[in-house]
């Protein structure tokens, strides 16, 4: 991996890698997979993961791996969008071979503000796939639910999905009566947990779990 890279770039690269590695790896993405991808030592990966977790980009499940938070995913998706658009520009308008374009896009994507991204998309005719057919993420998220952690206190909503589902989360969700479809009200948000009203009961949900429960706010 590059040696000469900015802090912000590294953060983006980590988030982007986690986003893409979801496809090939299980969820959450194990640190070992990240280590292999970057070619960094397990200790270094672990260190960086701690920081990303502290800063709210990812949720870290020790001995299991990481998943992106809503914000982390937004960063990763925006990055990927910039990447694909630059790829198209380089191949379509500058006739640069795809393999080379991929690497160059990997550098340009970190130097591209939102305004340029969207105008570039327009210039290219708003393409929906990269030169090899891989989809380009749209500029705005298509789905309308947000994860429970970010539902404001007092809001009412309906559980839409549990994702990613792993470990004991399904069992917990069932115990709490939080299956998809049921209505909830967020009562209180604390340091480590969120208090939610389900039917007539109050349930206390750890933040980690709140990260994988998705709500459509009503």
- CB burial string 32-48: b at 16+ within 10 A, e below: ebbbebbeeeeeebeeb
Among 24, 39, 63, 115, binds a second copy (CB under 8 A): 115
Nearer CB in complex with DNA: 62/125: 62
Residue 17 engages DNA in binding (rule: CB under 7 A): no
Residue 41 engages DNA in binding (rule: CB under 7 A): yes
Shortest spacing between CB 110 and a second copy, in angstroms: 7
Residue 211 contact among a second copy, DNA, none, beta carbon within 5 to 8 Å by kind: a second copy
CA separation for the pair 51, 12 (Å, rounded): 13
Among 123, 134, 153, 179, binds a second copy (CB under 8 A): 123
Residue 40 contact among a second copy, DNA, none, beta carbon within 5 to 8 Å by kind: DNA
Shortest spacing between CB 31 and DNA, in angstroms: 4
Counting Cβ atoms within 10 Å, is residue 104 exposed (0-12), middle (13-18) or buried (19+)? middle
CA separation for the pair 191, 88 (Å, rounded): 44
3-state secondary structure of 47: helix
Number of residues interacting with DNA: please give it, by CB under 7 A: 22
Among 26, 50, 132, 170, binds DNA (CB under 7 A): 50
Among 17, 20, 25, 38, binds DNA (CB under 7 A): 38
Helix axes 98-108, 70-88, angle to 10 degrees: 130
Residue 54 engages DNA in binding (rule: CB under 7 A): no
Residue 169 engages DNA in binding (rule: CB under 7 A): no
Among 26, 32, 56, 138, binds DNA (CB under 7 A): 32
């Amino acid at each position: 991996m590059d040696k000469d890279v900015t802090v912000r770039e590294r953060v983006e690269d980590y988030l982007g890698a986690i986003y893409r590695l979801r496809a090939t790896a299980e969820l959450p993405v194990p640190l070992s997979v990240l280590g292999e991808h970057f070619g960094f030592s397990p200790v270094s990966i672990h260190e960086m993961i701690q920081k990303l977790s502290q800063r709210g980009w990812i949720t870290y499940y020790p001995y299991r791996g990481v998943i992106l938070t809503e914000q982390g995913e937004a960063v990763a998706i925006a990055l990927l969008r910039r990447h694909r658009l630059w790829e198209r520009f380089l191949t379509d308008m500058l006739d640069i071979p795809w393999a080379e374009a991929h690497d160059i896009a990997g550098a340009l994507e970190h130097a591209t503000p939102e305004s340029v991204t969207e105008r570039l998309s327009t210039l290219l005719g708003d393409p929906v796939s990269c030169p090899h057919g891989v989809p380009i993420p749209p500029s705005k998220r298509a789905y309308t639910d947000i994860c429970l952690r970010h539902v404001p206190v007092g809001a009412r909503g309906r559980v839409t999905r549990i994702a990613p589902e792993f470990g004991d989360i399904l069992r917990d969700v069932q115990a709490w009566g939080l299956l998809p479809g049921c209505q909830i009200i967020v009562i209180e948000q604390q340091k480590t947990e969120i208090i939610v009203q389900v039917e007539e009961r109050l349930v206390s949900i750890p933040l980690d779990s709140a990260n994988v429960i998705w709500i459509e706010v009503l």
